[in-house]
């Protein structure tokens, strides 16, 4: 039987209260959201928090809405709601595409976007999605709020920019016209983490790629931002040759390790092939928006 080691439990009744508890209890305190990454880690003693602060009652952190020209997603928003959101589907179909292949519907009833991003596991699909769409994370502490890009949010394997006495409260997505996005994932079986996955977001104006975000899951110690491919694509007219070149860069610039999910060359091959496919579909979506 797998059971976590003993800990103290408290249920937060407000965001301020959760932050105050984190500050008071120090580094041995952890937030628990859906618990679908943290509890498995605690069962295996990979995480041994002394205090858990349960934020599941904080309904004020569960929303997907339009505000000040951005889409704002509360940290406690669950996978199932990301999958069902019409607003997200309209602006960023990549979310629904990723959510249909993240875990299974029962797990998706509990897991949250905040937990997924804070877990900072390179295999998380949402980390690549949020990187591709250029999301920004809102981190709140007693001293106030700061907003960081995904590149600055994930600082290392299982490490984020969320400091002591701080929590992630919101994820913000830009609402820019002419965009398309897609997620491509290969997994061993339904509901499993990726062998490799690629997320792409493309913005097109006048037949030219004005901006692009490309990120990979499960093929490096942290989410891989394929910045060299982004630079290649920006300012060019989309074409199959260009997508193939971007795929080659993705293949070269990732750093997978061999494990039960496959050898290194296979994962590199997937990174390239999936990037090409994601770019192709994201571009088609952007061109439809432009038309």
Partner 1 sequence: MQVTITVNGVPVTRDIEPRLLLVHFIRETPGLTGTHWGCDTSNCGACVVLMDDKPIKSCTQLAVMSEGHDIRTVESLEVDGRLDPVQQGFHEKHALQCGFCTPGMLMTSRALLDENPDPTDHDIRTAISGAICRCTGYQNIVAAVRWAAEHPAVEKQEV
Ligand X SMILES: Cc1cc2nc3c(=O)[nH]c(=O)nc-3n(C[C@H](O)[C@H](O)[C@H](O)COP(=O)(O)OP(=O)(O)OC[C@H]3O[C@@H](n4cnc5c(N)ncnc54)[C@H](O)[C@@H]3O)c2cc1C
Q: How many CB atoms lie within 10 A of CB 185?
A: 24
Total chain residues near ligand X (CB under 6 A): 30
Q: Which is nearer to partner 1, 48 or 142 (CB)?
A: 48
Where does this chain touch partner 1 (CB under 8 A) — which range of 63-71, 106-114, 132-140, 277-285? 106-114
Would you say 142 and 19 are in contact if contact means Cβ atoms under 8 Å apart?
Answer: yes
Shorter beta-carbon distance to ligand X: residue 116 or 199: 116
Q: Which residues of 241-260 are buried (b: 16+ CB within 10 A; e: fewer)?
A: ebbebbbbbbbebbebeeee
Query: Residue 140: which of ligand X, partner 1, none does it interact with, CB under 5 to 8 A by kind?
Result: none
Q: How far is the CB of 34 from ligand X (least distance, A)?
A: 3
Q: How far is the CB of 123 from partner 1 (least distance, A)?
A: 15
Whole-number Å distance between alpha carbons of 243 and 229: 9
Q: Identify what 1 binds: partner 1, ligand X, none; CB under 5 to 8 Å per kind.
A: partner 1
- For residues 54 to 83, the per-residue mask of contacts with partner 1, x marking binding by CB under 8 A and - elsewhere, is x-x---------------------------
Query: How far is 83 from 67, CA to CA, in rounded Å?
Result: 20
How many other CB atoms are found less than 10 A from the CB of residue 165? 19
Residue 93 lies near ligand X (rule: CB under 6 A):
no
CB of 269 to ligand X, least distance (A): 20
- For residue 192, give every residue at least 6 positions away whose Cβ sits within 8 Å of its Cβ, in sequence order, or none: none
Could you give the CA distance from residue 170 to residue 18 in angstroms, rounded to a whole number?
Answer: 15
CA 237 to chain CA mean position, Å: 28
Residues in the chain: 291
Nearest to 98 by CA among 180, 223, 189, 199: 199
In the complex with ligand X, the residue whose CB is nearer, 83 or 282, is: 83
CB 212 within 8 A of CB 94: no
Range in contact with partner 1 (rule: CB under 8 A) among 7-15, 126-134, 160-168, 220-228? 7-15
Tell me: does residue 151 bind partner 1 (CB under 8 A): no
**How many Cβ atoms are within 10 Å of 133's Cβ, its own excluded?**
25
196 binds ligand X (CB under 6 A): no
Q: Is 263:162 a contact under the CB 8 Å cutoff?
A: no
159: number of Cβ within 10 Å: 12
Q: Is 136 in the site for partner 1 (CB under 8 A)?
A: no
Shortest distance, position 2 Cβ to partner 1, whole Å? 5
CA 88 to CA 148: how far, in whole Å? Answer: 21
If binding is defined by CB under 8 A, does position 32 make contact with partner 1? Answer: yes
Q: How far is the CB of 93 from partner 1 (least distance, A)?
A: 18
Instruction: Out of 52, 53, 133, 171, name the contact with partner 1 by CB under 8 A.
Output: 52
Q: Does 37 bind ligand X (CB under 6 A)?
A: yes
Q: Which is nearer to partner 1, 43 or 89 (CB)?
A: 43
Tokens, residue 138 = 């809102």
Q: Which residues bind ligand X (CB under 6 A)?
A: 30-38, 75, 102-103, 107, 110-112, 114-116, 118-119, 124-126, 162, 167-168, 191-193
Instruction: Summarize as ranges the residues that interact with partner 1 (CB under 8 A).
Output: 1-9, 11, 32, 35-36, 39-40, 43, 52, 54, 56, 103-107, 109-110, 190-191
């Amino acid at each position: 039987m797998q059971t976590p080691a003993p800990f103290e439990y408290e249920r937060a009744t407000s965001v301020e209260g959760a932050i105050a508890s984190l500050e008071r209890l120090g580094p041995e305190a952890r937030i628990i959201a859906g618990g679908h990454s943290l509890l498995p880690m605690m069962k295996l003693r990979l995480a041994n928090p002394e205090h858990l602060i349960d934020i599941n009652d904080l309904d004020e952190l569960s929303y997907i809405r339009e505000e000040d020209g951005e889409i704002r997603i509360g940290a406690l928003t669950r996978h199932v709601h990301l999958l069902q959101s019409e607003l997200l589907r309209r602006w960023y179909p990549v979310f629904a595409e990723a959510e249909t292949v993240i875990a299974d519907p029962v797990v998706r009833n509990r897991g949250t976007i905040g937990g997924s991003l804070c877990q900072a596991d390179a295999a998380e699909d949402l980390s690549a999605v949020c990187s591709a769409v250029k999301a920004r994370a809102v981190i709140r502490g007693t001293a106030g709020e700061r907003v960081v890009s995904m590149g600055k949010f994930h600082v290392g394997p299982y490490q984020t920019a969320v400091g002591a006495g701080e929590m992630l409260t919101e994820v913000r997505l830009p609402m820019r016209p002419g965009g398309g996005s897609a997620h491509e994932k290969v997994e061993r079986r339904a509901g499993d983490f990726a062998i490799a996955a690629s997320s792409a977001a493309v913005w097109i104006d006048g037949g030219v790629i004005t901006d692009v975000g490309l990120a990979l899951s499960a093929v490096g110690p942290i989410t891989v931002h394929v910045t060299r491919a982004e630079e290649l694509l920006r300012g060019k007219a989309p074409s199959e040759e260009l997508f193939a070149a971007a795929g080659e860069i993705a293949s070269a610039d990732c750093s997978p390790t061999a494990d039960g999910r496959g050898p290194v060359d296979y994962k590199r091959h997937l990174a390239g092939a999936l990037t090409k496919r994601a770019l192709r579909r994201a571009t088609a979506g952007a061109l439809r928006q432009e038309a």
